Structure 1
Amino acid sequence: HNALDNGVTVNQLKEWNNLSSDLIIVGQKLSVGENAKASESTPSENNKSESNATEQPAQQPKEEKSTQTTQKSTTSNESSNNSSSAQGNVSKELTVTATAYSKAEPGMSHMTATGIDLNDNSRVIAVDPSVIPLGSKVYVEGYGEAIAADTGGAIKGNKIDVHLNSVQEVNNWGVKQVKVQILD
């Protein structure tokens, strides 16, 4: 809220304050502006009293809340990785090598092996049907819920191919080890 008032981006704030992440800790003092440190001490009375009046009440609760939401999302992530993360019960969990593909790639069809149109439902993974039965609802770590609705020549054994909407996203995904939960 305050950063926007000053026309400041998150990246600028991070740069000025040598922050490596977007997380701001309650009570942390941030500098705004290239000469943040110099300008902070120069305008004494005017700036201080004004910013105290506006910043303190507004910012404290906001910062605390954002810290709580961060913690909350971490815990929900943890529970989603370990316990049943999605609707339905987990009938099987396995670790697989995940690559990605996109209907946007040249020569790719938007129809899957099971007849799902990726234009209607893009949350699809390609599987080896002997490992993950086609039609299974799955939860893929780092991807979310999807349907095992496609196959691929290279997708044999504990391998999956997640469908993403753009070639750029496919390149960003690369190859990773992820947990897959098969949901009932």
Structure 2
Amino acid sequence: MLSIGTGHAFAATTTYTVKPGDSLYKIAGKYHVTVAQLKSWNHLRSNMIRVKQKLKIQTKTPAKKVSSSSSSYRTITVKATAYTAGSGGGITATGFNLKRHPSAKVIAVDPKVIRLGSKVYVPGYGMAVASDTGGAIKGKKIDVFISSKKKALQWGRKTVTIKVYK
């Protein structure tokens, strides 16, 4: 199951020293954060890191889970399509590996409309994390990740009103 930010609030900052063989993806996985978050917290413009480099990592503390009855969300009506891991190489814009996690609930978004890392409820799909972008995903469009090509084609193209949680 996808655990990018779900049910947690960022509370404190810790420092991690990069070791030989480390990558942003490995470090993000170790701390259950996204590559995009690591880059943002450390003002990195690329995925390049150096051995002995100090990285700031915001640690998480348990928080109340977001429920669909929560009033802390905004609604957006979007055009929704589906994609598979094969159509983009399997690694999302935030560094999440969809091929390793075929049951993950992930959507691709336009980050100008929906912030990466946001929790989003999509009718007919469920709770998901905005973890990917796409060349055709501009404005009020989303792409839901479905591991099966057959099921992705069955999803088709639909207009849905989603809830984006704060």
The TM tier, using the shorter chain, reads: 0.5 to 0.7
More strand by share: 2
Cα shift at 1:89: 4.0
- Secondary structure, aligned partner of 1:148: strand
Aligned twin of 1:146: 128
- Contact 1:138 1:183 survives alignment (8 Å): yes
Evaluate the alpha carbon distance shift between residue 171 and residue 93 of structure 1 in structure 2; reply closer, same or farther with a 3 A threshold.
Answer: same
The structure whose residues are more often helix, as a share, is: 1
Q: Any idea what SS the aligned residue of 1:156 has?
A: coil
Q: Report the TM-score when normalising by structure 1.
A: 0.50
Aligned with residue 138 of structure 2, among 156, 162, 174: 156
Alignment partner, residue 88 of structure 2: 108
Aligned-partner Cα distance in 2 for 1:164–1:124:
8
Shift of the 156–90 alpha-carbon distance from structure 1 to 2, 3 Å rule, reads: same
Letter in 2 for 1:146: A
Displacement over 6 Å in runs of 4+: none
The structure with more radius of gyration: 1
Point out where structure 2 has 5 or more consecutive residues left out of the alignment.
Answer: 1-65
How far apart are the structure 2 equivalents of 1:179 and 1:168? 24
Identity of aligned residues (%): 49
What CA distance in whole angstroms lies between the structure 1 residues aligned with 2:94 and 2:69?
23
Structure 1: 5+ residue stretches without partners: 1-83
| Counterparts of 1:157 and 1:90, CA distance in 2 | 22
Asked if the contact 1:95–1:177 (Cα under 8 Å) also holds between the matched residues in 2, the reply is yes
Higher relative contact order (CA 8 A, sep 6+): 2
Structure 1 residues 87 and 122, CA, compared in 2 at 3 Å: closer, same or farther? farther
1:123 corresponds to 2:105: yes
Paired residues of 1:85 and 1:139 also in contact (CA < 8 A): no
SS of equivalent to 1:94? strand
Q: What's the TM-score once normalised by structure 2's chain length? A: 0.55
